Each structure stands twice: as C-alpha cells, then as structure tokens.
C-alpha cells in the first residue's frame, strides 16, 4: 500500500441515523489505511453536535471534524430542489442543498492547506447535490448510502421506469400496481413506495435526481451486509454493464455499540434486569416517529389486552427528549399496567435490544433499527411511518421472514387507525414461538457478527473500497 498521506472529505447527512454510521465507517477506513485522514464536514445540526460531543465519541487525530457555518437565510436552492413539496425528507434535502457554497469554501480551504493528496469526496445519500463541488475540483466522488440495498434497488427501478420507459411514477400513488425490483423474490407493491417518490410537488423529481447522481458516482458503500440482502446486492453488482451502476460495497452493519447507556437510563436497564428472558415487547419508532392521539389509545389498549410485559418509548412526533405525553394515554393506563410495563421517553435502544429480557421489537423499520434488531437477534413487528420505512418493512416481513406485520403500508400522515385487536394479534404472533421469526432473527444475529470480523464479507468489502478509492485517484 502507498506510503503517501492521503485524505478523504466526507459530508454526512443530518440526523442520528446518518451521523453515527458515517463516523463508524470513517473509523474503520482509518484502521484499514494508516496514512489516510478523513475530514468530516458537518452540518451545524443539534443532533450532530450532541453526538460528536458525547462521551462515547472517540477522537482519532486522523478523524477531523469541521462544522460548517449556518447558510445565508433565503439562499435559493439549486435547480434539483426547486420544489413546493412539504414532505419532511424533501425539506431536509433542500436545507442540505443550501450548504453547497459553504462546502465549496471548506473544500477549497482543505485543498489549499493540506499536504496530503485528496483522494475522494464522500457524500451521504441526503447530500448528493454536493457532488457538483467534487466535480468542480475534479475529485472522484462516492456515495454513502445509510439505508438498505432494498431501497437503493427500488430507487434504481423507479429511475429506469422514469428515464428509460418515460413513465410518470407519481401515477402509482394509491394504486395496486406491483413491480419487479432487482433482487426481490416477491413483486413489490406500489403501496410500500416512499411518499417522496410518489409526490407530484417535486418530491419525486428530487428522488429521481438523487438516483441519477448516485449512478454517476465512482462507488456506493451501503450500511448493510451481504448475508442480509444477498440477492439484492448481487443484482445491483451485476447490473454494472447494462445499467451503468457503480461498484457496490456492503460494509455494514455500522453500529455504535460501544456507548454504555448513560446513567439517566439506569432505572430502565435495572427494570429489564428483573424481567424473565425474552419476555418483554419493546416498542420504539425512531428518532422522530409518532402517532395520532387516537392511534396511541389503540396501541395502549392492545398492550393491555395482550398482557405481555412491555417497554414503550412514547413520544410526540419529532420529540427527542424524555418527557412522556401521559395525557394522550388511555385513562388509567399507567395504573393498570403498573408492574407489567413501562412507558418511557427517549430509549437507550441499542442497550435495550441487546438485553436478554427483550423478546420482540415493534418497530418503524428505520434502517438503523432494522440493523440493530438483527445484530441482537430480536424479531420485529413492522409498523412503518415515513421515508423508506415501508419498503424496509416489506423486506423484513415478506422477503426475510424476520418480522411479523402490523401494517407494512402504514403511513404517518394517514387517517387510518390500526385497531387495538389488530395490534394485539401482531404482538401475539411476534412473541409466540410458532411464527418462526425468532429463529430467523437468531440466525441473522450470527450472520451479522460474522460479517464484521476479520475475513467477514463486510471487512472484505471495506478493504476493496479503500483500495479502489486509492486506485481511482491515481489515474
Ligand atoms: N434511537 C434511540 N432511542 C430512541 C429512538 C431512536 O436510541 O428512543 C436510535 C436508534 O437506536 C437508531 C436511531 O436512533 O440508532 C434511529 O435510526 P433509524 O434509522 O432506525 O430511524 P430514524 O430515526 O432515522 O427514523
């Protein structure tokens, strides 16, 4: 390997589910090549600040953090993102895009100061418009895909229908259409497509522009592992010639499991310590998920009827703190379930999932939650809310058999209410031994740890990724 000092510039996306795996993959790349340094250009976001300032964050002098200033107010987004869409992922993309001039300035500063050769520019899947900056400086760019290969494959299928077959994919909204998506064993229903792809107000255009930019990159590294999505990874890798896909590297699961739960969570862990093995149902819906008040009443009633022990992370939408909105629970719920279950705010999710008392996870199927659940061998009940969670839910239920279904096509903005009976039945299927999900999740636990040890599939992909980055920059 070269003895020259080399550098990567990495723009992680906003949100906990983007920054954690970005830092984790960065650390692994530094271990792979001792003359490599990585500068992370961080969007000035409270979640990112909180994480990078936390005690569990281990600095390495070759891992540098540079927080970008706030973008100018009213700066108009570039052409990809002139949209009227009010969908949260689209608004997040537009906000990231406003940072483009700041990223350009930061890259210029790095190029002028560094004595190392800048060998690549890595952008999170939410920051694809920044690839223009890499092109201006003639730096090869790579995409860091924090979701699963399932979503990448769906995106590529929709891009092909749009660009090559001239189909307006927004027409599939609310339709019963099904698609053949590369690597999926079953036809994929339009009902599990992300709302953004179906959005006529510009969301779909932004999603397709993202897909086109991904295809033009020099490589895509995905937070997944070969054994979890073997057929999809294989089909994406084989489509290089016809579909001009860049190389795919499955380098996950990228999880931060080193952090011991903070002391503020010790009473939750102490409570779990008192529960029998695999007896507790854990319910948690990501960093921003939440339900309508009516839906929460049904969920509460389902937990009461099921009689199972539970740990429920209940928060209002977009609330990351530990305050519990008790006023929206069914009246008397906390008294009646006292001793059987606990209602909490923010959960120490990784620590909870790895606790022996936890037997099932009712999850929104955010990709990090899927990976954490598989890492711990905990089966899921899939109840997606937004973004690409519906296709993840479809995959874990129909393709992998590691989850039972609550509703794989549920959406956060729906007026539909899933009844207490339906939820209680899903919890029973999740916790009973006959459904087989527990055994399949246990198998996946073995496979996920095998992927990340020396000689495992993800470590091999990581080594070839670093090799290819160096090779691509030398020509
Ligand atoms: N998380 C947590 N406690 C919570 C909610 C979420 O620790 O109460 C963590 C969870 O372990 C995961 C991340 O936040 O690592 C959420 O990422 P995911 O991709 O699952 O969902 P998103 O928040 O992006 O919807």
Residue by residue, DSSP assigns 19-30 as: HHHHHHHHHHHH
457 and 441 in one domain? no
Q: Name the pairing type of β-strands 178-179 and 188-189.
A: antiparallel
206 and 276 within one domain:
no
Question: How far is Cα 11 from Cα 449, in angstroms, rounded to an integer?
Answer: 27
Which of ligand 1's atoms lies nearest the C-alpha of 20? 15
1 in a domain, yes or no? Answer: no
**Contact predicate 442/400, CB 8 Å:** no
Q: Among the atoms of ligand 1, which is closest to the Cα of residue 389?
A: 25
Order of strands across the sheet that contains 380-382: 341-344, 309-313, 280-284, 358-363, 380-382, 403-405
| Same domain as 462, residue 401 | no
- For atom 22 of ligand 1, which residue has the closest CA? 286
Q: Mutate which of 287, 346, 358, 388 to test ligand 1's pocket (most atoms within 8 Å of Cβ)?
A: 287
Query: In the prediction, which pLDDT does 433 show?
Result: 80
Single out the residue of 250, 225, 224, 227 nearest to residue 237, CA to CA: 250
185 and 283 belong to one structural domain:
no
The answer on 155 and 231 residing in a single domain is yes
Tell me, in angstroms, the distance from the centre of ligand 1 to residue 16's CA.
7
Residue identifier of the C-alpha nearest atom 3 of ligand 1: 347
Confidence of residue 323 (pLDDT cuts 50, 70, 90): confident
- Per-residue pLDDT, 49: 84
Which CATH number goes with the domain that contains 439?
A: 3.40.50.2000
The reply to whether 276 and 239 lie within a common domain is no
Statement to judge: residues 229 and 358 lie in one domain: no
Question: In the structure, what pLDDT confidence band is assigned to residue 319 with cuts at 50, 70 and 90?
Answer: low
**Distance of alpha carbon 5 from alpha carbon 36, whole angstroms:** 6
What average pLDDT does this structure show over 234-249?
A: 83
**CB of 346 closer than 6 A to ligand 1?**
yes
| pLDDT > 70? residue 407 | yes
Question: Could you tell me if the CB of 389 is within 6 A of ligand 1?
Answer: no
Residue to substitute in 124, 286, 318, 388 for testing ligand 1 pocket (most ligand atoms within 8 angstroms of CB)? 286
The pLDDT value given to residue 82 = 61
Residue 268: its pLDDT value, please? Answer: 96
Band (pLDDT 50/70/90 cuts) for residue 435 is confident
Among residues 132, 183, 174, which one has the least CA distance to residue 156?
183
Average pLDDT score over residue span 191-210: 94
Given a cut of 70, is residue 24 above it in pLDDT? yes
Q: Are both 57 and 82 inside the same structural domain? A: yes
Whether residue 404 lies inside any domain: the answer is yes
Question: Is 457 found in the same domain as 445?
Answer: no
Residue 186 lies in a domain: yes
Alpha-carbon span 69 to 53, nearest angstrom: 17
My answer on whether 402 and 416 are in the same domain is: yes
What is the pLDDT, as a whole number, of residue 165?
96
Same domain, 339 and 233: no
- Does residue 335 have a pLDDT over 70? yes
- pLDDT: which is higher, 429 or 324: 429
70-122 pLDDT, tens digit per residue, is 888 765 556 555 667 777 777 888 888 899 999 999 999 999 998 899 999 99
pTM of the model: 0.95
pLDDT above 70: residue 252? yes
Query: What confidence category does residue 53 fall into, taking pLDDT thresholds of 50, 70 and 90?
Result: confident
- Cα distance between residue 205 and residue 210, in whole Å: 9
Q: Which residues contact 342 (CB under 8 A, 6 or more apart)?
A: 268, 271, 310, 311, 312
Q: 348 CA to middle of ligand 1, Å?
A: 9
What is residue 75's predicted lDDT score, i.e. its pLDDT? 59
Say yes or no: 35 and 169 in one domain: yes
What per-residue confidence (pLDDT) applies to 324? 81
Among 259, 349, 365, 378, the mutation site with the greatest number of ligand 1 atoms within 8 A of its Cβ is 349
Could you give the number of structural domains in the chain?
Answer: 2
Residue 127 within any structural domain of the chain: yes
Assess whether pLDDT exceeds 80 at residue 318.
Answer: no
How many angstroms is it from 228 CA to the middle of ligand 1?
Answer: 20
Domain of residue 11: give its range: 6-256+453-474
Average pLDDT over every residue of 376-385: 98
Q: Is the CB of 287 under 6 A from ligand 1?
A: yes
CA of 143 to the centre of ligand 1 (A): 22
Q: Parallel, antiparallel, or unpaired for β 141-145 and 220-222? A: parallel
How far is the C-alpha of 120 from the C-alpha of 139, rounded, in Å?
6
Q: How far apart are CA 88 and CA 388, in angstroms?
A: 12
């Amino acid at each position: 390997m070269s003895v020259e000092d080399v550098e990567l510039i990495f723009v992680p996306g906003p949100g906990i589910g983007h920054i954690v795996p970005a830092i984790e993959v960065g650390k692994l790349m530094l271990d792979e090549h001792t003359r490599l340094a990585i500068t992370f250009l961080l969007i000035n976001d409270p979640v990112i600040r909180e994480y990078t300032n936390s005690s569990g964050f281990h600095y390495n002098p070759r891992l540098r953090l540079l927080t970008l200033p706030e973008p100018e107010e009213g700066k108009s987004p570039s052409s990809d993102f002139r949209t009227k869409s009010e969908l949260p992922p689209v608004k997040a993309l537009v906000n990231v895009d406003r940072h483009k001039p700041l990223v350009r300035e930061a890259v210029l500063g790095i190029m002028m100061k560094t004595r190392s050769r800048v060998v690549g520019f890595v952008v999170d899947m939410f920051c694809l418009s920044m690839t223009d900056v890499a092109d201006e400086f003639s730096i090869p760019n790579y995409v860091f895909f924090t979701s699963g290969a399932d979503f990448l494959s769906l995106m590529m299928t929709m891009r092909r229908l749009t660009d090559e077959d001239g189909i307006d994919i927004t027409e599939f909204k609310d339709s019963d259409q099904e698609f053949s998506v590369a690597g999926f064993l079953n036809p994929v229903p339009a009902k599990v497509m992300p709302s953004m792809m179906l959005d006529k107000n510009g969301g779909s255009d932004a999603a397709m522009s993202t897909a086109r930019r991904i295809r033009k990159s020099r490589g895509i590294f995905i937070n997944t592992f070969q054994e979890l999505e073997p057929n999809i990874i294989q089909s994406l890798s084989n489509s290089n010639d016809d579909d001009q896909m860049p190389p795919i590297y499955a380098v996950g699961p990228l999880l931060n499991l080193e952090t011991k739960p903070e002391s503020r969570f010790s009473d939750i862990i102490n409570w779990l310590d008192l529960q029998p093995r695999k007896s507790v149902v854990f319910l948690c819906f990501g960093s921003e998920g939440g339900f309508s008040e009516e839906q929460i009443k049904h969920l509460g009633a389902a937990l009461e009827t099921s009689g199972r022990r539970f740990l429920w992370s209940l928060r209002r939408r977009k609330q990351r703190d530990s305050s519990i909105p008790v006023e929206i629970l069914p009246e008397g719920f906390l008294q009646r379930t006292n001793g059987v279950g606990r209602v909490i705010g923010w959960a120490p999710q990784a620590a909870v999932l790895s606790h022996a008392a936890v037997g099932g996870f009712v999850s929104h199927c955010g990709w990090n939650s899927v990976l954490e659940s598989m890492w711990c061998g905990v089966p899921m009940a899939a109840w997606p809310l937004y973004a690409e969670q519906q296709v993840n839910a479809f995959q874990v239920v129909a393709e992998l058999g590691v989850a039972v279904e609550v509703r794989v096509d549920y959406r956060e903005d729906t007026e539909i209410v899933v009844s207490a009976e339906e939820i209680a039945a899903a919890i029973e299927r999740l916790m009973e031994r006959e459904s087989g999900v527990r055994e399949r999740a246990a198998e996946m636990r073995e496979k996920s740890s095998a992927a990340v040890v020396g000689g495992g599939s993800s470590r091999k992909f990581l080594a070839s990724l670093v090799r290819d980055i160096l090779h691509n920059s030398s020509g």
